[in-house]
Amino acid sequence: MKSLFTKAKDPKSVKTIRLGAFNLLANAEHPIEQYIKDHPNYSANLPRISNYIAEKYPSFSVIDVGANIGDTIALLRNAGNLQQIHCIEGDPFYFDLLTQNAQQFEAVTLTNAFLGDIAGNVAFVIDAQEGTGKLSKSSDLETQIETVDNLVRSNHWANIKLLKVDTDGFEVKILRGSAETISAQKPVLFFEYDPFFLDEQQEDGLSIFKQLSDAGYRSVFFYDNLGRLLLRIKTTDLDLIAQLFEYPRNRKAAFHYYDVCVLHESDEDLANTLFVKEKEFFKAH
């Protein structure tokens, strides 16, 4: 098997960034520290949501797919969330930084794996970007793909109540590969929804909502990519979701992608709490 890397990363081009109470090692071009300075709501929605979950489920576990350098761990810990976090990162460069950064945190497990909908060798290569390493299709290079369900089963991860996926277009595939976990544990789902990257993977951006609806998921919260709540709808509102999908599709809109939070019907009370508290938060901010 040939090397996965399409663009070499200079191991010397590493900087230290500050996220709240924590210092993290990051590649020199990683933008998150500046994003948060410029846009205080950026990446702040997930920590709030995790705390709403904790009000109903005081002890639960988080799966963080696309853990990158461990910024989600830092953001959750800054918000007082001390839950067990299972971090999954495929890119070896970012996994090395994640491993070093995770040493300052407790209740964290690390897994170096790329995820998809079906386990096996597939024709993809790592494509290095500013603050991420994503998979792109290749004609002659392969990498091993795992699924969330396989990892949950083999590692006996239990009480999963938050599944976060940020993988530059592979979100739908990964959620399909989480069907068993979603059905059994009914976690709150939080994932990036980027029409541009989904189109690159030739993914139907609407299909996941039909699948989630069939699995008993009802409430959907759409945030813009800077963390501001746009609206709450139902998984069955496919016409409206289709319109939302089209808006940032050509990268010429006011923002490029959404953060989406989806809750199971058994957590309708949690969805109502989330909606009320998020409206109160943005009224004050």
The pTM for the full model equals: 0.90
Per-residue confidence (pLDDT) for residue 244, from 0 to 100: 97
Higher per-residue pLDDT: 204 or 112: 112
Torsion of CA 179, 206, 41, 112, to 10 degrees: 40
* 79-103 confidence digits (pLDDT tens): 999 999 999 999 999 999 999 999 9
Q: What is the CATH number of domain 14-284?
A: 3.40.50.150
Higher per-residue pLDDT: 213 or 3: 213
Q: What share of the chain in percent tops pLDDT 90?
A: 83
* 13-38 confidence digits (pLDDT tens): 899 999 999 999 999 999 999 999 99
Tokens encoding 236: 């069955």
Helix ranges restricted to H, 81-194: 92-102, 148-155, 171-176, 179-185
Residue 126 above 70 pLDDT?
no
Alpha carbons 102 and 73: distance in angstroms, whole number: 8
* 48-71 confidence digits (pLDDT tens): 999 999 999 999 999 999 999 999
From the CB of residue 23, how many other CB atoms can be counted at a distance below 10 Å? 12
Residue 178 above 70 pLDDT?
yes
Per-residue confidence (pLDDT) for residue 124, from 0 to 100: 61
Alpha carbons 114 and 108: distance in angstroms, whole number: 18
Q: Which residues contact 151 (CB under 8 A, 6 or more apart)?
A: 86, 88, 111, 113, 115, 157
Higher per-residue pLDDT: 108 or 136: 108
Task: Indicate the helix (H) or strand (E) that contains 121.
Answer: strand 120-122
Burial (CB count within 10 angstroms: exposed 0-12, middle 13-18, buried 19+), residue 244: buried
Phi/psi of residue 92, nearest 5 degrees? -60, -35
Are 26 and 15 in contact by the 8 Å Cβ rule? The answer is: yes
Q: How do the domains of the chain map onto residue ranges?
A: 14-284
Name the nearest CA neighbour of 258 among 203, 221, 216, 217.
221
Alpha carbons 48 and 39: distance in angstroms, whole number: 16
Residue 75 above 70 pLDDT?
yes
Tokens encoding 276: 């009320």
